[in-house]
Amino acid sequence: MNIKKISIPLAIALLMFPQLIETMYSPALTSIKNHFAVSAENAAQGLSIFFMAFAFGVVFWGRLCDVIGRRNSTLAGLTLFIISAIFTYFASNFDLFLFGFGSCAFGAAVGSVCTQTILRDSFEGAELAWLFSIAATSIGISPVIGMLIGSWLTSHGDYTWVFAAMILLVALLFIWSSIQLPETKPENIKRDSLLFVANKMIRDSHIWYITLMIGLTNIALFSYYNIAPFMFEQLGASVKFFGYTGFVLAIGSVLGSLINIKLIRCKINSDFIVFIATVLMIISGVGVYLLQHTIWFFIPMALISLSFGLTLPNLLSTALTNYRDHLGSAGALLGLSYYLIIGFGLDLVASVGSLAITLLACGSCCLLLVCSKKFIATTQQRNAQTQTN
For the chain, which residues score pLDDT lower than 70? Answer: 1-3, 124-127, 129, 136-137, 139-140, 188-192, 327-328, 388-389
Contact 25, 46 (CB under 8 A): yes
Looking at residue 264, its pLDDT comes to 78
**SS3 category, 295:** helix
- Does this model's pTM top 0.85? My answer is no
Ordered alpha helix ranges (H), 204-299: 205-234, 239-244, 246-265, 270-291
Looking at residue 388, its pLDDT comes to 66
Q: Which residues contact 26 (CB under 8 A, 6 or more apart)?
A: 47, 146, 147, 150, 225, 226, 229, 242
Residue 295 CA neighbour count, 13 Å, CB half = 13
Contact 201, 333 (CB under 8 A): yes
Looking at residue 296, its pLDDT comes to 93
Residue 267 burial by CB count (10 A; 0-12/13-18/19+): exposed, middle or buried? exposed
- The candidate with the shortest Cα–Cα distance to 181, out of 72, 257, 328, is 72
- Kindly list the structural domains of the chain, giving each domain's residue range(s) and its CATH number in brackets, ordered by start: 8-384 (1.20.1250.20)
Looking at residue 285, its pLDDT comes to 93
Task: Output phi, psi for 288, to 5 deg.
Answer: -65, -40
Looking at residue 116, its pLDDT comes to 82
Looking at residue 363, its pLDDT comes to 94
**SS3 category, 269:** coil
Distance, CA of 8 to CA of 189 (rounded, Å): 24
Looking at residue 327, its pLDDT comes to 67
Looking at residue 1, its pLDDT comes to 44
